[in-house]
């Protein structure tokens, strides 16, 4: 860990001012906001994050869940994962989000972790976390150690020749299936970004993971009104029963009319460089009969573009089974 | 509180200290002027140090010193030992030369006023290397000719002509102990004497090694380990960080604390080595073994020869006229391996018991029945009778409790609540020996007792078990017995290894109590005002804390504390000494504990989800002194066994030599949610060959056999025989 200056943001504008001093809001940022700290402090101890200034935003008024008049649900960036998971509105109308949150981390971590922090959670790639070894995401141009290394847990979708890191968040997968929108405040004012446009695939700049610029502060996440009569499922597959990131996960939001899919959103976790909405799978399901054959076609379509590495080829079959089973659970009468 | 004899479940006497945070673990010790040391670890797996620049680090805030080969001061080598006398596994002192032989090897250490300053300085040390490609390959080939560990009959010929054969190779990965408490040293030097607060499972051994390596007489070193947040064998012997802290304290003349970080735990403080074991079983169609061969290899470090001894349990497990065991080492660029819970027998029995399961399937014989058919009536390896062996009863009791008779042996044939069930069984065993031990017992004028020995409680319940033993032998309630451990100022006690502490201390406790009681009888006859004044001592007896005439009952006697009071004595102290049986050449019995493991797994192929749902364990470990911590040891072992079977493996990156999953998220141990329903039964047959109470230890046996039972269950559920641990779900996906 390096020496750093610590301050508490007096307000959102104060935080933005402080954040704007950083040359980047991405890897290598000189200024970091800290909320729950469950990712940032961990990475600072590993010297992977070396900010000169840490700005505590826990005092900002961003910790409430509000039902908006148009039916959307607004989740403050500082709402803790456990509070969000057990929020009555989330449990009844956005069950996939509650399930995803509760499948992640441990109770202690969920009590600290925030919505904004989980959204920005960094990869668990072991080479990213080891400062002594090459990693393009941590040290651009140094090379990707994972491609020829220990890559069992890493991505098969949305990767590049420069990075195969997985986005580890469960929450992000559910937010993607729900069509969440991210509210950002920055030096140029406020803007809204749909979650699918928020994250970048690594390409040849894996150090740049999302749309945030210096000074940008995620203030809230909004969820559209829940689709009528839909069922929601989050299924997470992993080696052990608890406290492990997904090897593959699927978030399903589905409505069925007269035996066919009238609404379907499929998002995948644990297999991709970012929370992965599978339009290919959805396309295979719309207006199709609710049966195993449709599920299989959707699963095959979702993984058609997969690029396996030396040790994670099994994730293709695992993710397919995950999709098929989750669709089955979501549509079981 | 009443007397708490052996066999009563006394709750841990130190429990309140632990749950209230009062118990002082090693890193809890703080002293005025304390400094913090943080090592700098090599970032290559093989090569030499080309340059080491401490100029920036040395001038950073709060930094007192940056140590490396040129300025650490003299740290000697401890000469080779016989047995486990003065032992450490990594014998090279820290910074001894510029050669890097494993990733993470200490190359320097920063010492500063605060922990944070020391970390920052350690990070600022610039080290350059001439790197070579490290060798951390999984596949093991023996270096030179393998050792012949045991042989009888003509195993090759018998195997060749056997009607049914199994010839398979099993491997177990590097496993890292990962106790929750990190290794730590707090070294205090007063200009003459060292006081070393250590995370050690052996204060006496640590003192003896430290004295030799620091070049001072033994009496100049005191080692203290009051509480341990577990060790699993990883803390049996000293590791280099201890000598960095001591040398820094000596040089700076200030106390120095060094806490090994979690990532260093994967590099610098040992691990269970990778093993690769070929098992050949030849059997007649009746299931009787005619040949058994066990050829094992394990990796070791470049400088040290660590033998895992995989065939430890093989010669006596089953009856077979033809037998051979060999072992070999393969050198790798890894830190030195060390003992991990059940060293040798745990990986060895995984292989042997897996092969027995495969043989049962090949023969079409129930795996429990196959074991019964091969039960030996003596230890055929040593040609000695067993002191007490009840494996057959363990299997029978376990089968009944598990419901084994309801097993359908066809793969994937059993179902419950929509899940496929798999059932598996394995036998297990562990040595039952004693180390030398000395124990002091004081009987005091307030009716209390104090028992003291320089062994230590590593979390297993030694404090409480000693209170049980003294309570049984003196009639003093456990809550009036003070147990003092973990300090080399006390009479020398055993290392907490080999599950031997309980068995080792009992004879010494008996002797110490007899001696202390004899002195009370002497006081009784020499003190006016006692009813026994002027009698001969041998006319008196001591029963349940009461001194009385032999020809009268204790109801007409006098409590020992009253005699002490009348004699104006605070206490009488007795010292007991007992010899070791471990390593003894002169023995009349084969001494081991036995057990049976029955495991149930559930398998959901549609989501590739494998879980261990139920384990029944039956253990024959002599008389159980305190069932509560004993059960706790077996249950903990079973949970660890779930990790061994399905989760645990330290992965080394082939290019960098780094143990890459060096944290508790990426190195997976079983969580609470992975713990199955566990039922533990103790047979409770006293083994009086070992000591007068017939007690053995239970710290390790529960981990033996469990991985084989689980992998057998996995086969039964899935049809996939996994011979390389851990079982990964990708192997079951096909």
Kindly give the pairing relationship between strand B275-283 and strand B546-549.
unpaired
- Chain B residues in contact with A322 by the CB 8 A cut-off are 607
Fold of A5-56: 3.30.43
Nearest-angstrom CA–CA distance, B7 and B415: 39
The pLDDT confidence band at residue B259, using thresholds 50, 70 and 90, is: very high
Distance CA B207, CA B192 (A): 15
Percent of chain A with pLDDT over 70: 100
pLDDT for A193-216, tens place per residue?
999 999 999 999 999 999 999 999
Domain boundaries, chain A: 5-56, 231-331
Judge: B729–A239 Cβ closer than 8 Å, yes or no.
yes
Q: Is A239 in Cβ contact with B653 (below 8 Å)?
A: no
Residue B3 pLDDT > 80:
no
Number of alpha helices (DSSP H) and beta strands (DSSP E) in chain A: 12, 12
Q: Write out the two tokens for A318.
A: 């695992």
Cβ–Cβ below 8 Å for A318 and B671: no
- Span B116-166, pLDDT tens digits: 999 999 999 999 999 999 999 999 999 999 999 999 999 999 999 999 999
Alpha carbon distances (Å) from A184 to A191, A211, B585: 5, 10, 77
Closest CA to B459 of B180, B133, B64: B180
DSSP, collapsed to helix, strand or coil, labels residue A283 as helix
pLDDT the model gives residue B724: 98
What the block records as the tokens of B303 is 């400088």
Q: From residue B113, how far is each of B33, B64, B241, B260, B413 by CA, in Å?
A: 8, 7, 18, 17, 65
Q: Which of B116, B660, B674 sits opposite A150 (nearest CB)?
A: B660
Contact B19, B74 (CB under 8 A): no
pLDDT reported for residue A228: 84
Q: How confident is the model at residue B30 (pLDDT cuts 50, 70, 90)?
A: very high
The shortest CB-CB distance from B647 to any of A133, A240, A247 is to A240
Residues of chain A found within 8 Å of residue B651, distances taken between Cβ atoms: 150
Contact partners, residue B82, CB within 8 Å, separation at least 6 = none
- pLDDT the model gives residue A132: 94
Q: How far is CA B595 from CA A192, A276, B680, in A?
A: 64, 50, 10
Q: How far apart are the C-alpha atoms of B58 and B223, rounded to whole Å?
A: 30
Class of domain A231-331: alpha beta
Inter-chain CB proximity B123 and A314 less than 8 Å: no
Least confident of A44-58, A100-114, B76-90, B599-613: B76-90
Q: What does the mean pLDDT of chain A come to?
A: 97
The alpha carbon of residue B498 is apart from the nearest alpha carbon of chain A, in Å, by: 30
**ipTM score of complex:** 0.96
Check A242 against B671: CB less than 8 A apart.
yes
CA-to-CA dists, residue B338 to B138, B301, B309, B557, angstroms: 18, 10, 12, 54
Q: Which residues of B are catalytic?
A: 700
Residue of A nearest to B673 (CA): A241
Residue B79's CB: how many other CB atoms inside 10 A?
A: 8
- Which chain B residues are closer than 8 Å to A321 by Cβ? 606-608
Chain mean position to CA B204 = 16
Q: Rounded to 10 degrees, what is the CA torsion of A88, A92, A96, A101?
A: 10
Rounded to an integer, the average pLDDT of B234-239 is 98
DSSP symbols for B32-88: TT-EEEEEEE-SSSSEEEEEEE-HHHHTSTTEEEEE-TTTS---PPPPP-STTSS--
Give me the sheet containing B414-416, strands edge to edge. Answer: B414-416, B419-431, B592-604, B609-620, B677-682
Q: Taking an 8 Å Cβ-Cβ cutoff, which residues of chain B contact chain A?
A: 43, 116, 119-120, 123, 606-609, 611, 646-647, 651, 653-656, 658, 660-661, 663, 665-666, 668, 670-674, 728-730, 733
Distance of residue B266 Cα from the nearest chain A Cα, in angstroms: 14
Ramachandran sector of residue A274 (left: φ over 0; alpha: ψ -120 to 50; beta: rest): beta
Please judge whether B729 and A314 are an interchain contact, meaning their C-beta atoms are less than 8 angstroms apart.
Answer: yes
- Domains of chain B, with CATH numbers? 15-22+434-578 (3.30.365.10), 31-133+181-229+235-265 (3.90.1170.50), 341-433+585-732 (3.30.365.10)
Report the alpha-carbon distance of residue B466 to residue B625 in Å, rounded. Answer: 9
What per-residue confidence (pLDDT) applies to B98? 98
- Residues of chain A with C-beta less than 8 angstroms from the C-beta of B653: 133, 145, 149-150
Distance CA B414, CA B437 (A): 51
Report whether pLDDT(B1) > 70. no
8 Å CB contact between A146 and A154: yes
């Amino acid at each position: 860990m390096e020496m750093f200056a610590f301050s508490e943001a007096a307000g959102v504008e104060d935080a933005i001012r402080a954040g704007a001093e950083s040359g980047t809001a991405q890897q290598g940022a000189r200024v970091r906001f800290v909320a729950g700290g469950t990712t940032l402090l961990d990475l600072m101890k590993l010297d992977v994050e070396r900010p000169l200034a840490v700005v505590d935003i826990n005092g900002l008024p961003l910790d409430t869940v509000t039902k908006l008049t148009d039916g959307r649900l607004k989740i403050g960036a500082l709402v803790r994962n456990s509070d969000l998971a057990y929020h009555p509105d989330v449990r009844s109308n956005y069950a996939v989000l509650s399930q995803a949150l509760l499948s992640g981390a441990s109770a202690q971590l969920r009590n600290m972790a925030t919505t904004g922090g989980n959204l920005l959670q960094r990869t668990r790639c072991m080479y990213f976390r080891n400062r002594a070894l090459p990693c393009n995401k941590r040290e651009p141009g140094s090379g990707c150690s994972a491609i020829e290394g220990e890559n069992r847990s890493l991505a098969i979708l949305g990767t590049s020749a420069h990075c195969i890191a997985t986005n580890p968040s469960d929450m992000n997968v559910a937010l993607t299936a729900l069509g969440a929108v991210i509210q950002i405040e920055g030096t140029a004012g406020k803007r809204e970004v749909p979650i699918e446009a928020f994250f970048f695939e690594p390409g040849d700049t894996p150090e740049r993971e999302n749309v945030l610029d210096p000074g940008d502060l995620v203030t809230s996440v909004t969820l559209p009104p829940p689709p009528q009569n839909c069922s929601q499922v989050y299924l997470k597959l992993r080696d052990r029963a608890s406290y492990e990131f997904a090897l593959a996960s699927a978030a399903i939001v589905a409505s069925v009319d007269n035996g066919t899919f009238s609404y379907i959103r499929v998002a995948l976790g644990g297999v991709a460089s970012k929370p992965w909405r599978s339009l290919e799978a959805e396309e295979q399901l719309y207006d199709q009969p609710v049966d195993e054959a449709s599920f299989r076609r959707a699963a095959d379509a979702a993984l058609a573009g997969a690029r396996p590495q030396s040790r994670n080829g099994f994730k293709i079959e695992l993710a397919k089974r995950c999709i098929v089973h989750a669709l089955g659970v979501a549509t079981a009468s | 509180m009443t007397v708490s004899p052996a066999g009563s479940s006394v709750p841990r006497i130190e429990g309140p200290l632990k749950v209230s945070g009062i118990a002082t673990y090693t890193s809890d010790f703080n002293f005025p002027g304390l400094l913090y040391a943080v090592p700098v670890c090599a970032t290559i797996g093989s090569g030499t140090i080309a340059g080491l620049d401490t100029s920036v680090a040395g001038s950073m805030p709060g930094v007192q010193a940056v140590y490396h080969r040129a300025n650490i001061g003299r740290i000697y080598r401890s000469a080779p030992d016989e047995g486990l006398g003065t032992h450490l596994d990594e014998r090279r002192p820290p910074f001894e030369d510029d050669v890097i032989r494993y990733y993470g090897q200490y190359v320097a250490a920063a010492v500063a006023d605060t922990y944070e300053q020391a970390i920052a300085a350690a990070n600022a040390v610039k080290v350059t290397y001439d790197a070579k490609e490290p060798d951390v390959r999984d596949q093991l080939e023996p270096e030179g000719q393998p050792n012949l560990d045991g042989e009888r009959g003509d195993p090759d010929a018998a195997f060749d002509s056997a009607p049914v054969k199994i010839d398979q190779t099993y491997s177990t990965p590097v496993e890292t102990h990962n106790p929750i408490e990190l290794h730590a040293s707090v070294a205090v030097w007063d200009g003459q004497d060292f006081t070393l607060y250590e995370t050690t499972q052996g204060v006496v051994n640590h003192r003896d090694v430290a004295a030799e390596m620091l070049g001072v007489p033994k009496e100049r070193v005191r080692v203290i380990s009051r509480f341990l947040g577990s060790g699993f064998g990883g803390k049996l012997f000293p590791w280099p960080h201890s000598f960095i802290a001591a040398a820094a304290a000596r040089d700076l003349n200030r106390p120095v604390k060094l806490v090994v970080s979690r990532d260093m735990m994967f590099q610098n403080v040992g691990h269970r080595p990778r093993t690769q074991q070929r098992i050949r079983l030849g059997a007649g169609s009746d299931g009787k073994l005619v040949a058994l061969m066990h050829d094992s290899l394990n990796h070791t470090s470049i400088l040290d020869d660590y033998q895992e001894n995989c065939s430890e349990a093989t010669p006596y497990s089953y009856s077979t006229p033809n037998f051979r065991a060999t072992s070999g080492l393969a050198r790798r660029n890894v830190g030195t391996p060390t003992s991990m819970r059940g060293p040798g027998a745990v990986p060895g029995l995984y292989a042997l018991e897996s092969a027995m399961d495969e043989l049962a399937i090949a023969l079409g014989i129930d795996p429990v029945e196959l074991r019964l058919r091969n039960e030996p009536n003596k230890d055929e390896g040593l040609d000695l009778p067993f002191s007490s062996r009840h494996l057959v009863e363990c299997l029978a009791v376990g089968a009944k409790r598990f419901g084994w008779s309801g097993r359908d042996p066809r793969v994937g044939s059993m179902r419950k609540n929509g899940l496929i069930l798999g059932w598996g069984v394995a036998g297990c065993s562990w040595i039952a020996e004693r180390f030398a031990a000395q124990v002091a017992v004081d009987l005091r004028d307030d009716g209390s007792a104090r028992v003291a020995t320089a062994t230590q409680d590593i979390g297993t319940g030694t404090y409480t078990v000693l209170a049980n033993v003294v309570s049984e032998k003196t009639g003093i309630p456990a809550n009036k017995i003070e147990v003092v451990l973990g300090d080399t100022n006390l009479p020398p006690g055993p290392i907490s290894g080999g599950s031997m502490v309980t068995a080792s201390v009992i004879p010494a406790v008996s002797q110490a109590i007899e001696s202390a009681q004899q002195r009370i009888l002497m006081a009784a006859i020499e003190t006016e005002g006692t009813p026994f004044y002027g009698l001969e001592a041998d006319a008196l007896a001591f029963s349940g804390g009461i001194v009385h005439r032999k020809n009268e009952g204790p109801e007409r006697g006098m409590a020992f504390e009253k005699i002490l009071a009348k004699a104006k004595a605070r206490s009488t102290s007795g010292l007991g000494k007992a010899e070791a049986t471990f390593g003894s050449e002169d023995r009349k019995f084969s001494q081991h504990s036995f057990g049976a493991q029955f495991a149930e797994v559930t398998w959901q192929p549609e989501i590739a989800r494998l879980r261990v749902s139920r384990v029944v364990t039956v253990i024959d470990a002599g008389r159980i002194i305190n069932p509560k911590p004993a059960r706790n040891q077996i249950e903990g072992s079973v949970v660890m066994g779930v990790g061994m079977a399905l989760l645990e493996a330290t992965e080394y990156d082939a290019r960098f030599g780094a143990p890459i999953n060096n944290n508790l998220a990426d190195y997976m141990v079983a969580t609470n949610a992975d713990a199955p329903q566990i039922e533990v039964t103790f047979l409770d047959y006293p083994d009086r060959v070992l000591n007068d109470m017939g007690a053995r230890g239970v710290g390790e046996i529960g981990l033996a056999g469990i991985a084989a039972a689980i992998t057998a269950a996995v086969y039964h559920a899935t049809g996939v025989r996994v011979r390389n641990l851990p079982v990964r779900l990708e192997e079951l996906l096909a």
